Amino acid sequence: MTAQHLRVDDLACERGGRRVFEHVGFTLAPGGALQVEGANGAGKSSLLRLLAGLLDPAGGTIDNPFAVAWVGHEVTLKPGMTLLAELHHWARIDRRSAADVDAALARFDLSALRELPCSVLSSGQRRRAALARASLSGAALWLLDEPSVGLDAASRARLATTLADHRGGGGLVVAVTHEPLGLDAPQRLRLGE
């Protein structure tokens, strides 16, 4: 039998009674990456929500055998909590160790900020924290909504290598973006054409 794939077939999406897109289909193998592009409002985030099971399809099928890590537009950090406490909380839910947390912090150069309350982090530092949370979740399929937004050059490089490593380990990436992410040879999907 063949390895498992993420299979999406003839997918249609409605938001607020309006058909946002339809006839979207693709297949993604382990190690693969899909880069989703399109104008504002084309339905990129909606597609990600469908893949994550956060939204019900208006038509078509999604066959996703993989565990999912989610980085949406919101960074989802509680202001009062320290960065470390936040990551530990999610790591516990994902059954990951403290070592994994430290590794993720280091991966996005956040180690020095670990004790700061999230309310004082800068926008890029927050985004990096959200990426760190996904990278330590251990999930195979990463769903990233404009992951490079607000990142400085160094962090974008880190993101690129992190994504490459993840794919190297057989992980899958579906990333929405308006600018290159440094994914090598990604499949491309343009919505709203």
Partner 1 sequence: MHRFANPARFLRIARVATPILTLTGLICSAVGLWIGLFASPPDYQQGESVRIMYVHVPAAWLGSGGYLGLAIASAVALVWRHPLAEIAARAIAPVGALFTAICLVTGSLWGKPTWGTYWVWDARLTSMLVLLFLYLGYLALSTAEAERGGGKGAAILAIVGVVNLPIIKYSVEWWNTLHQGPSIKLTGSAIAPAMLMPLLVSLAGFTLLFGAIVLMRMRAALATQQVTARARRLAEAHA
Partner 2 sequence: MSVFIGLVRRDLALALLRPGTLALPVVFFVLVAALFPFAVGPDARLLARIAPGVLWVAALLAALLPVETLVEPDRADGTLDQLVVRGLALELVAAARLIAHWLGFALPLLIALPVAAILLQVPMAVLPRLALGLLLGTPALAALALVAASLTAGLRGGGALAGLIVLPLALPVLIFGVGIAAPGALRLLAASSLVAVAIAPFAAGAALRGATR
Ligand X SMILES: Nc1ncnc2c1ncn2[C@@H]1O[C@H](COP(=O)(O)OP(=O)(O)OP(=O)(O)O)[C@@H](O)[C@H]1O
- At closest approach, how far in Å is the CB of 49 from ligand X? 8
- At closest approach, how far in Å is the CB of 17 from partner 1? 5
Amino acid of residue 57: P
Q: Which of residues 81-110 bind partner 2 (CB under 8 A)?
A: 81, 85, 89-90, 92-94
Query: Phi and psi at residue 129, in whole multiples of 5°?
Result: -60, -40
How far apart are the C-alpha atoms of 144 and 172, rounded to whole Å? 11
Q: Which of residues 43-82 bind partner 1 (CB under 8 A)?
A: 80
Cβ-based nearer residue to partner 2, 77 or 163 = 77
How far apart are the C-alpha atoms of 36 and 34, rounded to whole Å? 6
Question: In this chain, which of 10, 19, 97, 180 binds partner 1, going by CB under 8 A?
Answer: 19
Q: Which of residues 109-128 bind partner 1 (CB under 8 A)?
A: 109, 112-113, 115, 117, 119-120
* DSSP per position, 6-68: EEEEEEEEEETTEEEEEEEEEEE-TT-EEEEEESTTSSHHHHHHHHHTSS--SEEEEE--S-E
List of residues contacting a second copy (CB under 8 A): 15-16, 38-41, 45, 73, 113, 120-125, 128, 145-146, 149-155, 178-179
